[in-house]
Amino acid sequence: SQTIHQWPATLVQPVGSPLSLECTVEGTSNPNLYWYRQAAGRGLQLLFYSVGIGQISSEVPQNLSASRPQDRQFILSSKKLLLSDSGFYLCAWRAQGRDTEAFFGQGTRLTVV
């Protein structure tokens, strides 16, 4: 069966510090991978998605970036965090194809102080 791992679960970082969140998927090949952000009490904002190694699509301009160095690994990064980067970050995967649903990791709660 497929599983998705996301870490860390909780992170407190000072403004201006770098960020690296990692997500890995097991049990499937060539998945579509996604990073979403959820502000407190709000909906999900799509940040990045990837359909293959090295292929990243960005949905919103910001100081975040994403990379996919391996087929089942998706990384969210920042060189300098802002207070507004605080939120709940969720990684998700979907199998290739139109009709597949997304499966989510457990999320990372990031607080920038």
Partner 1 sequence: ELKVEQNPLFLSMQEGKNYTIYCNYSTTSDRLYWYRQDPGKSLESLFVLLSNGAVKQEGRLMASLDTKARLSTLHITAAVHDLSATYFCAVGSIYNNNDMRFGAGTRLTVKP
Residues interacting with partner 1, by CB under 8 A?
32, 34, 36, 41-44, 46, 49, 51, 57, 90, 92, 94, 97-99, 101-107, 109
The least CB distance from residue 32 to partner 1, in Å, is 5
Residues whose CB is less than 8 angstroms from the CB of residue 56 and which lie 6 or more positions away in sequence, other chains included = 48, 49, 50, 65, 66, 67, 68
Q: How far is the CB of 106 from partner 1 (least distance, A)?
A: 5
Find the shortest distance in angstroms from Cβ 77 to partner 1. Answer: 21
Residues 82, 98: Cα–Cα separation, whole Å? 35
For the record, the structure tokens of 25 come out as 């998927």
**Would you say 41 or 54 has its CB closer to partner 1?**
41
Task: For partner 1, give the closer residue by CB, 11 or 44.
Answer: 44
Other beta carbons less than 10 A from residue 44's beta carbon: 14
